Amino acid sequence: MRFEDLRLVEPLLRAVRTERYVHPTPIQADAIPLILAGRDVLGCAQTGTGKTAAFALPILQQLSKRSAEAKAPAGRIRVLVLCPTRELAQQIFESFRTYGRHTNVRQAVIFGGVNQNPQVRALRAGVDVLIATPGRLLDLMGQGLVSIKSTEVLVLDEADRMLDMGFLPDLRRILTDVPRKRQTLLFSATMPAPIRKLAGDILHDAVPVQVSRVSSPAPSVSHSVYHVEKVDKPGLLAHLLTQTSYTRALVFSRTKHGADKVVKKLVKAGVPAAALHGNKSQGARTRALAEFKSGKTPVLIATDIAARGLDVEDISHVINYDLTPEPETYVHRIGRTGRAGASGIAISFCTSEQHADLRAIERLIREPLQRETDPLGNGDSPPPPRPVPPRDTQPRTPRSRPTRSSSRRSRRRRPSAVSAAS
């Protein structure tokens, strides 16, 4: 299939050709016709599969067909896109601007951490598509500077991440202000129970679109692990980054303070690096990301704020400096490499206390991580991997439940709290 087969209008096709897009990704091929038809969509696809274009292109087409007289008045918007982080909001805004360069659709982005005055001026100039983080949107709504009461399309991008970051109360407040009669699009990399419940509450007769198994990594990424203790991590990281050929390396740290410490040690070792985390000012975060994209600073040390929505080309290596205890977070992290079919390398550091976390990751991705020997000679030989069934053949082991009679017997044998205390 080609983009011309999706019935997109010529201004959008021109923008797509400029970006050298020829064939839509599976999520785009499935979602774009549904959105153009006005259907609610529940989209689930692994990170890096082109979800932004999957909703941006049909939305731009819908809006570009409206007459100039139907443009939204100042302070009122037609399309609201909610996302969890400033970086993702800025990235979605740039995508709308890129794809809509030949249309008359106006877009703006608002997020916290910066002066609101430029954002307010953009809203007063008139906006068709507003990309926002929930906190700043509620702030400006409270000031009477933006209204979402005439919103025609609501998009929730990276919905599971918004729930992880505690945005559910904010989302509920926002949902009370948007019209009940609207088109709603919800995109998420995973579909845990809270997301399914949220989808059931806000979507109407939604069409599910899932293009790959939930939480499956890109098949073009190779996975390896070094068994190394915490004290030896800085030396190993510096060695790998000085002895390995890479285009850009994204290194994940568990904490903000830890990210800053890693940057200092790498710079001392002669490796250009910068940090990206929530304690940085928006200016510092923007600068670090821009220098990473340009290659001026080819190593970026980030917390999980960068695990979603960071769209940087040619990230050849993702390094889990601190292995995550959440297997799905591992998939989101390494999703920054191996995008759009390109090859990538995912390296993890695992301490002796994290063997259980490693096994959980291997169970989720259904393949063992290649054990590597520390080139600096620290620690013992890595333990061999436990057998993991290959992908798509993982048997589901049913949970064993005690029979009713055995359950009753066990309850009868358990002493009560009163008798135990006496």
Report pLDDT for 394.
44
Residue pair 105/60 in contact (Cβ under 8 Å)? The answer is yes
Distance CA 333, CA 370 (A): 18
In this model, does residue 330 exceed pLDDT 60? yes
The stretch 297-324 carries a mean pLDDT of 86
Q: Which of 25-34, 215-224, 412-421 has the highest mean predicted lDDT (pLDDT)?
A: 25-34
Give 147's DSSP letter: B
**pLDDT tens, 176-190?**
999 999 999 999 877
Give the rounded distance of the alpha carbon of 174 from its chain centre. 21
- Identity at 338, one-letter amino acid code: G
With bands split at pLDDT 50, 70 and 90, how would you rate the model's confidence at 422?
very low
Phi/psi of residue 121, nearest 5 degrees:
-60, -40
Neighbours of 386 (CB within 10 A): 11
Q: Is a pLDDT exceeding 60 seen at residue 72?
A: no
The C-alpha angle 124, 129, 132, rounded to 5 degrees, equals: 85
Q: Domain coordinates of the chain in residue numbers?
A: 3-210, 221-372
Are the C-beta atoms of residues 334 and 307 closer than 8 Å to each other? no
Local confidence band at 402 (pLDDT 50, 70, 90 cut-offs): very low
Domain 221-372 is in which class?
Answer: alpha beta
Question: What are the helix and strand counts (H, E) for the chain?
Answer: 16, 14
Question: Of 134, 375, 339, 66, whose CA–CA distance to 218 is shortest?
Answer: 339
Higher pLDDT, 320 or 405: 320
Q: Return the higher-pLDDT residue of 420 and 220.
A: 220
CATH 3.40.50.300, applies to 3-210: yes
pTM, two decimal places: 0.72
Residue identified by tokens 């005055």 is 117
Domain pair 3-210 / 221-372, same fold: yes
Residue pair 20/10 in contact (Cβ under 8 Å)? The answer is no
Question: Which pLDDT score, from 0 to 100, does residue 152 have?
Answer: 95
Indicate the range of 268-277, 287-296, 350-359, 399-408 predicted with least confidence.
399-408
